[in-house]
């Protein structure tokens, strides 16, 4: 429970300390009060004032090693871990039975990347701890988490759990570390164990929902987000991710309803309006989609996804000139997005502007050379304009990135057959067939004669008999 009295007393101490600095009078504070004053500044990341307070404290209490330890902590947190370590060395001989000293020493050593020495310091902390050792083990684990050493953190969390099997904070950190290590099944198990003890934990339900989201188990993810919302119906993140899960399930109407609940919490977020626009776009209600994209732009006229969304909707409505305007606006704000250029290429192709379409697809190939669709459409344009050899040249350039894409190989097979190079054509067809036998129609659509080739006919017959 929050202790208002203690907090008020702490505020009084800080006020008295700051009054002393203003008036230049000398007031006395005990060691514990000085530590709290320093912590007050640390909480605000006000390191100069924290350091000033602790230096003043050391002058009043020169024999208090706990104040030197606090100074080491301040130096470490302010980006001077080496200086902090030097202060620890000064008092280490006097504090051989102080686990806090060894925990701080280990924490600083981990920041310096000296993990072996940190392990030695942490072992010393454990050895001099009597009583609640699981708390020290948890502190060590959290130290490793702070430097993203999750595997090492797990080692100490497992030790802590052996001492306190049902300690909620240990279970939560076990779940978190497994999550960071992509051990999703173990993370789920620990979140479930935690929720058995703390069933009204918003964070645990939300985190569990995100785990299900990551493994594309959207139904269970939605159930978890619903629990989170039931605990706190102002949790916008839970609403957003629930809606995202519904989108991934192609339940666009339901997703729109959830996004509307998000708007009730935050009606000044252009991204939410854009998400709603995307849902209406998927429902092929393009006018409604454009309306929501425009609402996003009223809040932020540089919101590129909204400009792009309107361009895409106009493409679907076959208003190509309008689409061109909005897509160019999106690209003027973000010229590094391959999706924008790809759609622009499609619009130019629809307008019959060959050179502009080729330029747009070529830009996609630079930004995202693994976009096989851009290479294929580019090659098709070149084929229609200049013949099969030019299309082959484009697809050969793509092969560095897309050699294992069946459609690339099928198209190369068809184009080579059109040039009379039957051997290469058959080689590409066979490779494509191994990658995806069901997509062979892509080759025949370009070159009908290929379907009548005896070797291709034989290959297809053998496949059908299996």
pLDDT digits (tens, 9 = 90+) for 164-189: 888 999 999 999 999 999 999 999 99
Confidence tier at 95 by pLDDT (50, 70, 90): confident
H helix intervals, 181-269: 184-197, 202-214, 218-231, 236-248, 252-265
What pLDDT is recorded for position 92?
83
Residue 6 has pLDDT above 80, yes or no: no
pLDDT digits (tens, 9 = 90+) for 286-314: 999 999 999 999 999 999 999 999 999 99
Within a domain: 444: yes
Look at residues 137, 146, 122, 147 and name the one whose alpha carbon lies nearest to residue 169. 137
Within a domain: 298: no
Q: Are 195 and 187 in contact (CB under 8 A)?
A: no
Within a domain: 432: yes
* Radius of gyration, alpha carbons of the chain: 32
Percent of the chain with pLDDT over 70: 97
Within a domain: 445: yes
Residue 201 has pLDDT above 70, yes or no: yes
Tokens encoding 454:
């005896």
Residue 24 has pLDDT above 80, yes or no: no
Residue 2 has pLDDT above 50, yes or no: no
Confidence tier at 8 by pLDDT (50, 70, 90): low
Instruction: Residue 410: give the domain boundaries.
Output: 404-466
The packing angle between helices 31-43 and 47-60, to 10°, is: 170
Mean residue pLDDT of the chain comes to 93
Residue 380 has pLDDT above 70, yes or no: yes
Which DSSP string corresponds to 301-347?
TT-HHHHHHHHHHHHHTT-HHHHHHHHHHHHHH-TT-HHHHHHHHHH
Count structural domains, the chain: 1
What pLDDT is recorded for position 90?
85
pTM of the model: 0.81
Look at residues 118, 180, 113 and name the one whose alpha carbon lies nearest to residue 147. 113
Percent of the chain with pLDDT over 90: 78
> Which residues have C-beta within 8 Å of that of residue 372, sequence separation ≥ 6?
398, 402, 405, 407, 408
H helix intervals, 29-149: 31-43, 47-60, 65-77, 81-91, 99-111, 115-127, 133-146
Look at residues 17, 14, 103, 101 and name the one whose alpha carbon lies nearest to residue 65. 101
Residue 434 has pLDDT above 90, yes or no: yes
What pLDDT is recorded for position 165?
87
The residue that leads in pLDDT, 252 or 33, is: 252
Which range among 103-112, 200-209, 283-292, 419-428 shows the weakest confidence by mean pLDDT? 103-112
pLDDT digits (tens, 9 = 90+) for 394-431: 999 999 999 999 999 999 999 999 999 999 999 999 99
What pLDDT is recorded for position 281?
97
Which range among 66-80, 215-229, 327-341, 355-369 shows the weakest confidence by mean pLDDT? 66-80
Which DSSP string corresponds to 159-187?
HHHHH-TT-HHHHHHHHHHHHHTT-HHHH
Within a domain: 382: no
What pLDDT is recorded for position 315?
97
What pLDDT is recorded for position 7?
56
Tokens encoding 266:
């935050």
Within a domain: 433: yes
Residue 262 has pLDDT above 90, yes or no: yes
Within a domain: 112: no
What pLDDT is recorded for position 21?
85
What pLDDT is recorded for position 413?
97
Tokens encoding 56:
């003043």
Tokens encoding 361:
């697809």
What pLDDT is recorded for position 4?
38
Within a domain: 423: yes
Dihedral Cα 55, 34, 126, 45, nearest 10 deg? -70
Residue 3 has pLDDT above 70, yes or no: no
């Amino acid at each position: 429970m929050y202790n208002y009295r203690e907090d008020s007393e702490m505020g009084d101490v800080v006020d008295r300390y700051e009054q002393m600095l203003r008036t230049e009078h000398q007031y006395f504070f005990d060691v514990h009060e000085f530590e709290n004053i320093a912590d007050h500044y640390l909480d605000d990341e006000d390191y100069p004032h924290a350091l000033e307070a602790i230096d003043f404290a050391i002058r009043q209490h020169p024999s208090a090693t706990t104040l030197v330890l606090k100074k080491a902590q301040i130096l470490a947190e302010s980006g001077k871990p080496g200086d902090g370590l030097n202060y620890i060395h000064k008092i280490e001989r006097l504090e051989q039975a102080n686990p806090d000293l060894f925990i701080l020493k280990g924490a600083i050593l981990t920041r310096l990347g000296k993990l072996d020495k940190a392990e030695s310091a942490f072992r010393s902390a454990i050895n001099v701890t009597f009583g609640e050792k699981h708390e020290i083990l948890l502190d060590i684990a959290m130290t490793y988490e702070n430097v993203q050493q999750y595997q090492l953190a797990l080692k100490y969390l497992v030790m802590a759990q052996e001492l306190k099997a049902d300690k909620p904070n240990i279970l939560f950190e076990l779940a978190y570390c497994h999550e960071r290590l992509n051990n999703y099944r173990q993370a789920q198990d620990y979140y479930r164990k935690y929720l058995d003890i703390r069933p009204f934990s918003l964070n645990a339900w939300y985190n569990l929902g995100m785990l299900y989201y990551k493994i594309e188990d959207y139904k269970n993810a939605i159930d978890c987000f619903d629990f989170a919302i039931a605990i706190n119906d102002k949790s916008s993140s839970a609403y957003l991710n629930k809606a995202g899960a519904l989108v991934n399930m192609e339940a666009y109407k339901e997703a729109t309803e959830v996004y509307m609940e998000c708007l009730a919490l935050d009606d000044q977020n252009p991204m939410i309006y854009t998400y709603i626009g995307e849902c209406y776009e998927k429902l092929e209600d393009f006018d409604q989609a454009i309306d929501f994209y425009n609402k996003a732009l009223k809040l932020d006229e540089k919101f590129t996804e909204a400009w792009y969304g309107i361009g895409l909707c106009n493409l679907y409505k076959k208003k190509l000139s309008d689409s061109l305007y909005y897509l160019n606006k999106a690209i003027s704000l973000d010229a590094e997005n391959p999706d924008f250029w790809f759609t622009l290429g499609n619009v130019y192709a629809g307008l019959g502007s060959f050179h502009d379409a080729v330029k747009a697809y070529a830009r996609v190939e630079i930004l995202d050379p693994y976009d096989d669709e851009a290479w294929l459409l580019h090659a098709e344009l070149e084929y229609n304009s200049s013949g099969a050899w030019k299309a082959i040249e484009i697809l050969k350039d793509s092969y560095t990135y897309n050699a294992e894409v069946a459609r690339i190989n099928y198209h190369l097979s068809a184009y080579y057959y059109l040039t009379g190079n039957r051997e290469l054509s058959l080689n590409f067809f066979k490779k494509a067939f191994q990658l995806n036998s069901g997509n062979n129609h892509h080759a025949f659509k370009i070159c009908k004669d290929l379907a009548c080739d005896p070797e291709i006919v034989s290959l297809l017959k053998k496949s059908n008999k299996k």
